[in-house]
Structure 1
Amino acid sequence: MKYNPVTGDVIQALQQITGEKYVKTNPDVLAAYQSDESLAPDMWHLPEVVVAPGSTEEVARIMEVANQYKIPVTPRSAGTSVSCGAVPVCGGIVLLMERMNRILEINEDGMYLVAQAGARTSDIQNAAKARGLMYAGDPCSADSCLIGGNLATNAGGNKAVRYGTTRHQVYAIEVVLPNGKITHLGAPLKKCSTGYCLDQLIIGSEGTLGIITQVTLKLVPLCPYKLDVLAVFTDLAKATALVPKLVKAGLNPTSVEFMDNNFVRRASDYSELRLPHYEDGFYDIISIETFSEAELDAKMDILASICEKAGATDVVEADDRVWKVRRNCLESTRALSKVATSEDLVVPVPKIAECIQTLVAESKKYDFLLFCLAHAGDGNLHFQIMKRDMSDEEWKKQVAAFRDFAYPYVYKLGGRLSGEHGIGYKRMPYLERCADPVELELMKTIKRALDPNDILNPDKVIHIEE
């Protein structure tokens, strides 16, 4: 698609909307918004202007200007995406949501919270907890990510096994459509069969169908009893085969996290900690929450028995040290390589063991490093692939070859390309190859209908031909 450059007239129009203070064109600011957290410099692109609106109405007026001048707009939350979803691949405007950061209401009787899209996820969690309630959305980047970005990508996280992904935590959203119109979708209702479920269409659309500016989130009671267990295995097959056994036992765990030994050793070193079986251990971290102490004790007995029968070498309480190591997994690999890519595959839970073992074996054919961790309880597998001593050309060739095997294989298992990170710009060509052509055309039809000028976050998820 052909777009127009950002001219002085465009800058002036934006300044009239937000004030000159919130319209930035200096090179150092633009450079800060050319990338997200993905270590993929070849996919980074400079914006022409960065704008920080302070209200939904300002967002709407910015979109009107963008359509008038045919300027692409890339919405951006905290930039924690690893799919190049917030990278302005077509230049134009980067639209920051960080000024719109207020928590507007906590309704304890209705058990919901209303917040602007720029509110930090951890602030929402803490505000709910202070009222004896819980916001169950819990991405690993909660301390830095913003709630609007969570909705845009349908973020998952540690509690998705029990509570579902971000879309399952939402009652309603306020949205600015690509044409600048404002609409309110959904409602704080337990059920609704009134027309199309448009709020769920916008959630997870990665900022391509609308800009979420406000959200009404579901809250749940805070469980008073909780215990985290670390099950250590020295055999990859046994460690990955545990998850279906837990599900079938009806334990309803809050989370089940898997770490391969590469991550165990690397993250332990980074955290300056030594945990059991540092040299040869594969970790499953299981969280159980209940409303009675007796129920917790009973479930822990069942859990310990299942782990031991599955071949666990050790079953111990997972204290803060274990979670520190888990939280530092990805950060710990950055010193190994400044060039890396992360995979976010998702497969049916019974296929987890087969998928991990197959792809780890496949990776041995290549010269890159591959580490694996997973939100194993919901089948979401993360492979961190890091460049070693090879040319850029060879790196790209080997990663492409691995993906050419991995992606069709995952689809054959009934899986998909992304469980929580989204398609963004990074996986867009692969979605074109792997998705059902009818499904793909349906997505393009929706995009064309809502955004005929292809103004909003273009070249993300799907490519629209001119």
Structure 2
Amino acid sequence: MQFNKVTDKIVAELISILGQANVIVEAEKMEMYAKDEVSDRLWEKMPEVVVKPENTQQVSEIVKLANRELIPITPRGAGSGLAAGAVPLQGGMVLSLEKMNKILDVDTENLFMVCEPGVTTGEVQKTAKEQGLLYAGDPCSADSSFIAGNVATNAGGNKAVKYGVTSRHIYGLEIVMPDGEIVTFGGKNVKDVTGYDIVHLMVGSEGTLGIVTKVWLKLMPLPKYVADLLIPFADMQTAIKVVPKIMTAGIIPTCLEFMDSLSIKSAEMYLNKKLPYGDAGAYVICEVDGTSETQVQDDYETIGKLAMENGALEVFVADNMSTQERIWKARKCYAEAIRMISPVYCMEDIVVPVSNIPKAIEAIERISAKYECKIPSAGHAGDGNIHCTILRENRDDHEWHELKDAVLEELYEEVYALGGNLSGEHGIGAKRAKAMDKHLTDAQRKVLVTIKKALDPNGIMNPGKVLI
């Protein structure tokens, strides 16, 4: 697709729509919009203009202009993505949703929250909790990521084992389509099979089919009782092999996470404090919740007994807020901690069936040894989502790119052989588009391309992402 450049005339028209303050063309102010959290400079590109709409009508006018002039649009939330999904690789304009940041409605009778796309996930969680309610979407980046980004990648997070990924909590969307039309699908109806399920087509589409401008989020009563278990093991394989046993024990944990030894040590460095059992070869972190204290206690005792029977060094139960926060800080700082030991890295989020997690970890360890590189791993063990990160360390550019390409090719082959896929929650973006295309069948590719062309015939919406 051949796109046009952003001219002074187009900038002037954007200013007439948004006002001078919401149209940015100065290079130094646009630098932060040239990348996301992918550390490799290969995935950086300066936009020609950044626009910051404050309402849906302004988004519509911007998109109509871009569609008419064949200017590519890159929708952007907080820029916390890990797949170069919000990077304007084709130039054009970045449309930042940062100023559309209002919570519009908290409906405590129907258990819904309606918000704009630029609200952080943490703010949604906090607002729900103030009403005695729970928004169960809980990515590790909750304090910084926008709901828009969660919708774009169908973010998973820590509570996905019991409560599901973002799509389970989205019941309605207002969307600006690639031609600028504003449409709303879904809302506060808990059941709705009226027509095609456009809501869940858009969730996970990474801004390639339209721009979300309003979201209906399902809430639920806040669990009365919560307990967290920190379970250290001598080695990673022993730890990870207990996960399928827990998942088939008749209990649905809220969270079931893991960290390997290097991840634990990195977290200690980042937090500048000693973690409980910090010398362990691996952690399993488990959370259970419920409305009955007895039920929660029974659940964590069952899990603890199962862990001890399968090689755990200890089972540490945290049933107060202070200790729980200490445990979860270690897990949630994984990405930031990895950056401390290797500012350039390649973070993957492969996903396999839960029963194949031990084999996936074996494959990661085998590849790490073969290529003599460190690949720390942590992630959402309860749903098979493994965050493994290739570290550059002291390699030069040529060595790094050769290493990364070889490791990824072998890693992806192993994942598909185990019945898995490339991404559990970070998305495909630009970073994994070629790899995904390699593993698509012709029939799968045809379906995806047909949908894209039908909704975005001019290809202006986040080009170069998901599909190549």
TM range (shorter): over 0.9
Stretch of structure 1 that moved more, 239-248 or 189-198: 189-198
Contact 1:273 1:321 in 2 (8 A): no
The CA distance in 2 between the partners of 1:456 and 1:23, in whole Å, is: 19
C-alpha root-mean-square deviation of aligned residues, in Å?
Answer: 1.1
How far, CA to CA, are the matches of 2:413 and 2:440 in structure 1? 10
Aligned to 1:311: 311
Report the secondary structure of 1:6's partner residue: coil
Distance in 2 (alpha carbons) for counterparts of 1:388 and 1:67 = 43
Distance 2:216 2:428 in 1: 25
Q: What letter is aligned with 1:94?
A: V
Deviations 1:143-188 (A, max 9, x none): 0111111101101101000000001001100000011011001232
Measure how far apart 1:66 and its partner are.
0.3
After TM superposition, the structure 1 = structure 2 runs for residues 56-67 of structure 1, keeping only pairs within 5 Å, are 56-67=56-67
> Is contact 1:33-1:94 (8 Å) kept?
yes
Distance 1:324 1:199 in 2: 33
SS of match in other structure, 1:242: helix
Q: CA contact under 8 A between 2:233 and 2:282: conserved in structure 1? A: yes
Tell me by how many angstroms 1:331 deviates.
Answer: 0.9
1:14 and 2:19 are equivalent in the alignment:
no
| Letter of the structure 1 residue corresponding to residue 225 of structure 2 | Y
What residue in structure 2 maps to residue 262 of structure 1? 262
From 383, 387, 406, the counterpart of 2:392:
387
- C-alpha separation in 1, matches of 2:143 and 2:393: 30
Answer yes or no: is 1:73 the counterpart of 2:73. yes
Q: Within the alignment, does 1:329 sit opposite 2:334 as a pair?
A: yes
Q: Distance in 2 between matches of 1:3 and 1:140?
A: 36
Q: How does 1:240-259 map to 2 (within 5 A)?
A: 240-259=240-259
Question: Counterpart in 1 of 2:46?
Answer: 46
How far did residue 7 of structure 1 move?
Answer: 0.2
| Worse-superposed segment, 21-30 or 270-279 | 270-279
One-letter amino acid of the counterpart of residue 360, structure 2: C
**How many residues are paired up?**
463
Instruction: Return 5+ residue gaps in structure 1 as ranges.
Output: none
SS of residue in 2 equivalent to 1:104? strand
2:115 matches 1:115:
yes
Distance 2:278 2:145 in 1: 31
What TM-score, normalized to structure 2? 0.97
- Is 1:106 matched with 2:106? yes
- Structure 2: distance between partners of 1:392 and 1:49: 30
TM-superposition CA deviations, 1:431-454 (whole Å, max 9, x none) = 110122211221111101111110
d(CA) in 2 for partners of 1:305, 1:338:
40
Query: Which residue is 2:434 aligned to?
Result: 429
Q: Distance in 2 between matches of 1:338 and 1:256?
A: 28
Percent of pairs identical after alignment? Answer: 42
CA distance in 2, matches of 1:390, 1:303: 43
Shift of 1:402: 1.1
Q: Paired residue for 1:237?
A: 237
How far apart are 1:220 and its partner, in Å?
A: 0.9
Q: What is the deviation of 1:376?
A: 0.5
Structure 1 residue 324: deviation in Å? Answer: 1.8
What is the distance in 2 between the residues matched to 1:307 and 1:69?
A: 61
1:377 maps to 382
Give the whole-Å Cα distance in 2 for the aligned partners of 1:432 and 1:404: 13
- In the TM superposition, residue 369 of structure 1 has moved relative to its aligned partner by 2.0
Tell me if the contact between 1:344 and 1:382 (Cα under 8 Å) persists in the aligned partners.
Answer: yes
Question: Does the 8 Å contact 2:437/2:467 carry over to 1?
Answer: yes
2:454 alignment partner, one of 439, 449, 456: 449
Which runs of 5 or more residues in structure 2 are unaligned? none
Q: Partner of 1:79: helix, strand, or coil?
A: coil
Residue deviations 1:403-435 (CA, integer Å, cap 9, x gap): 111112211211110000000000000011012
CA contact (8 A) 1:160 1:378 kept: yes
- 1:16-415 aligned within 5 A: 16-318=16-318, 319=323, 320-415=325-420
How far is the alpha carbon of 1:243 from its aligned partner? Answer: 1.2
Deviations 1:259-284 (A, max 9, x none): 00001111112212223432343000
Q: Secondary structure at the match of 1:136?
A: coil
Deviation at 1:335, TM superposition (A): 2.4
- Asked if the contact 2:363–2:414 (Cα under 8 Å) also holds between the matched residues in 1, the reply is no
TM-score for both structures, normalised by structure 1:
0.98
